Every structure is written in structure tokens, then in C-alpha cells.
């Protein structure tokens, strides 16, 4: 799988190594950021497991950004009954993460987090909180109000604050889809290291979610950023998410997210994406 260097904000010190990965130097432990592009699910799954098995205490942590073709994935203790339509034509892959069933497809960002939690002195619950906070911050840059739900990992549409509603959040669409899920996460911890990660819906065909009980919850609505009135470039959002994940994982505040449209966010924060 190839990796493409990413242009990020000036908060990062980036060096391109031999295989064109980007080294994000934030805090004590740098993170290697790899852009995998469009990749089938199974090779990524196999590569994550192989990476985790082969890593040593000196192996740098990595974030992989990828967009998968259509696939359902069922967690280690997942109930196959949550797949409601067996003949959908979409493959089902049983995986070793936590959680139930979810869907990946075009128009969704998947960020795989290959982290040494022992080296970072991070407990799993705190890692989940930081991942969720990174997604909330990412969506806030697009005037989207989101929040957590107790006992249900992931990110859900919330009521916009006065500050968010002022600059252009679509309050009506937030109200219409309040409580809908826009991002899901699932992790596997092996020998103190994590793999799998978080998915964020940008602009996708949401109909496959109707063929499952998303994350095991019957009737749970799933939305994307486009549903909430945001026309955002997949790569722009992926870059923003990578930035926020890196800051959160390293426990550094970074620059506070400022609501603005995707075009100005890209120009102000990332420069060229080519």
C-alpha cells in the first residue's frame, strides 16, 4: 500500500521519509501519518495486525487514513442478527475489534490508530475520550454541533450552541437529526498497543446503514456531514481530523477549532493538498 505525504498546519513539523510518509512531531512521541487512499478492507485489516505483531518498543506510532469500498464489519463479540438484510450484496468481514456491526464505504474517512499505549501511559478509556474529542473538534470547524452519548462510544448530532448557530450552522437540520450517529469507533488492544480506529461520515450513500442495526442499536439513525448541510471535500476533512487526532493523542491543545467553511479551512490550515 502506498503512502502520500500530507500538507498540514504550521503546528506540525513534518519530514518526508523514504516511503513518503509524513512525520508529525507533536509532543514527546512523533506519529507517522500514512495516506492509503482507496483500499479494500481485508488488506488493511491484515496489515494492521501484522504491523502490531511486528512492532517493538521503539516503533513509531502511526495513523492511517483510508477510504474503503462497501463492507460490513462485525466485532469480536458481535451478534450476526444485527445484519438485517443478508442478501445486500455487501460483504461481511468478522474482525477482532470491540463493538457490534458497522458499515464502511466511499465518502467515509477511516482513521486507523496504531499506538503504543504503554509508552504513552494511556488507558483505553482515556484514548476513547481523546478520539471522540478530536472528532468533535473536527466537526466544529464545519459549524457542526456534536457530542458523546454515555455508554455508546461514537459521536452524535447535538443542538448547536449560540456561538455555532451564529456563523452558519443549519439549526433546522441539527434539530431534525438530533441524536443521529455521524462517527463510530472501535479498537483492539494487543500487547499494550492499539489498532482499528474511528470512521467519520462525510458524503456517502447512507442506505446500507438501513440493512444493519448500527453498532447494535436498532433504529439508530446514521447521517453524514452532507445530511447536515455541509459540502466538504473528503481530503480536507481527513487532514483536519488527522491534525486533531495527533494533538489529542499527544495531549497537546493545539489551535482551537474555529467555525468556517471547508474552503477557507483548507486554505488557512493545510495549503495545497496535491
**Please, how many CA atoms are within 13 Å of residue 248, restricted to the half-sphere of its CB?**
23
Write the pLDDT tens digit of every residue in 183-213: 999 999 999 999 999 999 999 999 999 999 9
Domains of the chain, residue spans: 22-269
- Cα–Cα nearest to 131, from 39, 196, 71: 196
Q: What is the pLDDT of residue 29?
A: 87
**Catalytic positions, please?**
215
- Cα–Cα nearest to 199, from 190, 187, 217, 211: 187
Write the pLDDT tens digit of every residue in 59-109: 999 999 999 999 999 999 899 999 998 889 999 999 999 889 999 999 999
Checking if the pLDDT of 40 tops 60, the result is: yes
Write the pLDDT tens digit of every residue in 213-236: 998 998 899 999 999 999 999 999
Class of domain 22-269: alpha beta
What is the overall mean pLDDT for the chain? 85
68 three-state secondary structure? coil
Q: What is the pLDDT of residue 230?
A: 96
- 30 pLDDT band, cuts 50/70/90, is confident
Contact present, 179 and 169 (Cβ < 8 Å): no
Checking if the pLDDT of 268 tops 70, the result is: no
Amino acid at each position: 500500500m502506498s503512502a502520500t505525504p500530507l500538507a498540514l498546519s504550521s503546528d506540525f513539523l513534518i519530514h518526508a521519509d523514504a516511503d513518503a510518509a509524513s512525520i508529525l512531531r507533536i509532543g514527546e512521541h512523533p506519529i507517522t501519518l500514512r495516506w492509503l487512499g482507496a483500499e479494500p478492507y481485508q488488506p488493511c485489516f491484515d496489515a494492521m495486525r501484522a504491523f502490531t505483531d511486528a512492532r517493538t518498543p521503539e516503533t513509531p506510532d502511526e495513523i492511517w487514513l483510508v477510504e474503503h469500498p462497501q463492507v460490513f464489519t462485525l466485532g469480536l463479540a458481535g451478534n450476526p442478527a444485527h445484519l438485517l438484510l443478508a442478501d445486500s450484496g455487501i460483504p461481511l468481514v468478522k474482525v477482532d475489534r470491540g463493538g457490534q456491526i458497522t458499515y464502511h464505504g466511499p465518502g467515509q474517512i477511516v482513521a486507523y490508530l496504531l499506538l503504543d499505549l504503554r509508552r504513552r501511559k494511556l488507558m483505553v478509556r482515556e484514548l476513547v475520550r481523546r478520539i471522540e474529542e478530536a472528532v468533535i473538534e473536527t466537526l466544529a470547524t464545519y459549524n457542526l454541533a456534536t457530542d458523546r452519548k454515555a455508554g455508546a462510544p461514537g459521536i452524535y448530532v447535538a443542538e448547536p450552541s449560540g456561538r455555532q448557530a451564529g456563523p452558519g450552522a443549519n439549526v433546522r437540520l441539527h434539530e431534525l437529526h438530533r441524536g443521529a450517529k455521524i462517527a463510530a469507533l472501535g479498537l483492539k488492544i494487543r500487547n499494550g498497543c492499539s489498532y482499528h480506529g474511528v470512521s467519520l461520515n462525510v458524503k456517502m450513500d447512507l442506505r446500507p446503514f438501513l440493512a444493519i442495526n448500527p453498532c447494535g442499536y436498532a433504529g439508530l439513525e446514521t447521517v453524514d456531514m452532507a445530511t447536515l448541510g455541509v459540502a466538504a471535500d473528503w481530503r480536507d476533512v481527513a487532514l483536519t481530523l488527522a491534525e486533531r487526532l495527533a494533538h489529542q493523542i499527544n495531549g497537546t491543545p493545539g489551535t482551537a477549532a474555529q467555525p468556517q467553511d471547508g474552503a477557507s479551512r483548507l486554505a488557512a490550515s493545510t495549503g495545497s493538498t496535491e
